[in-house]
Amino acid sequence: MKKENRPAESIAQQLAEQSIRAELEKEVGFILRKERFLLGDGRELEVDAANKDKLFFAEICTRLGKLQPAHLEKVASDILKLLFIERTLDVQCNKALCFANATWKTYFQGRSWIAAAAASYDVRIVVVGLPEEILLQIFAGTRSPIRCPDIAIALSTR
């Protein structure tokens, strides 16, 4: 059974993803789009930020707050997706994982096996800060400030 997002969280997460993609575009210097790839056998996959001509593919994680086991699984899945695209295209690609949460960067560039896997396959780790209005929308969608303390910290340092 699919878990449904609360509408405020869903809209805020979509805005966060768009904001991160726009900032990543500035960094790489070319247009990025959310893209669907049709695989030869009728299956498809979606990438959060892609430019097929430049062979650049990135997955975006907009979650804030404490790193949970489900988040680790999601990021591991994102790495696998990026590697699968590279294997399917049969050419070296530029791959990135983009986070809105700077504290997660430490984990994914640290001593974990996921960090080692990302580094060994040349998956770059990028952190992009979110605008205050998006942070506020995400914060409003949480049930408690305790759930996302880094939002409160980000807002208090502005």
Q: What are phi and psi of 97, to 5 degrees?
A: -110, 125
Sorting pLDDT into bands at 50, 70 and 90, what band is 93?
very high
Res 153: pLDDT:
52
In this prediction, residues 35-62 reach a mean pLDDT of 91
Q: What are 2-40's pLDDT values in tens digits?
A: 444 444 447 888 899 999 999 999 999 999 999 998 877
Res 76: pLDDT:
93
DSSP letter for each residue of 75-134: HHHHHHHHHHHHHHHTS--EEEEEES-HHHHHHHTTTSHHHHHHHHTTEEEEE-PPPHHH
Query: Are residues 153 and 103 in contact, defined by beta-carbon separation less than 8 angstroms?
Result: no
Sorting pLDDT into bands at 50, 70 and 90, what band is 68?
confident
DSSP symbol at 2: P
Domain extents for the chain?
7-156
Q: At what angle do helices 132-141 and 7-28 cross, to 10 degrees?
A: 150
CATH fold group of domain 7-156:
Trna Endonuclease; Chain: A, domain 1 (3.40.1350)
